[in-house]
Amino acid sequence: MKLLKSLAAAALVTGLLTSAALAETVVKVTLIDKMTDSDLSKPLGLGVGMKADMSKAPMGVAVNPKLATPGAVRLDVTNLASSLVHEVQVARITDESQVLTYDQSRNKVDTEGLEILGSVAEIMPSKSASLIIDLSPGKYLLFCNVAGHYMAGMWAIIEVK
């Protein structure tokens, strides 16, 4: 009887662990751009922590939900752009006021000093891609680092807690 009880307890624990592992948060990530005649050859200054008016941003990343639980997080990324290829990189940031180091000559975020946790490269227009990453509590920046895109507003923040 004692053995049966401990077996049942073990089964219960295993069951809990399994369901926890499967309970990944799904975040829908939508890549958008409304390219009219924006000149991206010079940084537009719409990066994180730059206190810019994001309503003027010609590009963006929309995330839903913005909050995830710690553990496996699946990013379902869809590129809704009409003609441009985009990408998504995931980096841990301290908070919304963190200004990233920017490489002016390449017109890209300098990722050297960043903790990049994953990325989805080159998503063609109207295509989707998924990425599963293990995230601990904190704030994460999702951004596109195609030249000029980050400074054009292509980023969003998700929080894991």
Closer to Cu ion by CB, 59 or 135: give it.
Answer: 59
Q: Which CB, 76 or 134, lies closer to Cu ion?
A: 76
Q: What is the rounded end-to-end Cα distance, in angstroms, of the chain?
A: 41
Instruction: Return the closest-CA partner of residue 92 out of 126, 66, 55, 118.
Output: 118
The count of C-alpha atoms lying within 13 angstroms of the C-alpha of 28, restricted to the half-sphere facing its C-beta, is 5
CB of 7 to Cu ion, least distance (A): 54
Q: Which of 77, 49, 52 is nearest to 142 (CA)?
A: 77
| Distance of closest approach, residue 143 Cβ to Cu ion, in angstroms | 9
Closest residue by beta carbon to Cu ion = 144
By beta-carbon proximity to Cu ion, the closer residue of 85 and 160 is: 85
Residue 89 near residue 145 (C-beta atoms within 8 A):
yes
* Minimum distance of Cu ion from residue 109's CB (angstroms): 12
**Closest CB 39 distance from Cu ion, rounded Å:** 15
Residues that bind Cu ion (CB under 5 A): 86, 144, 146, 149, 154
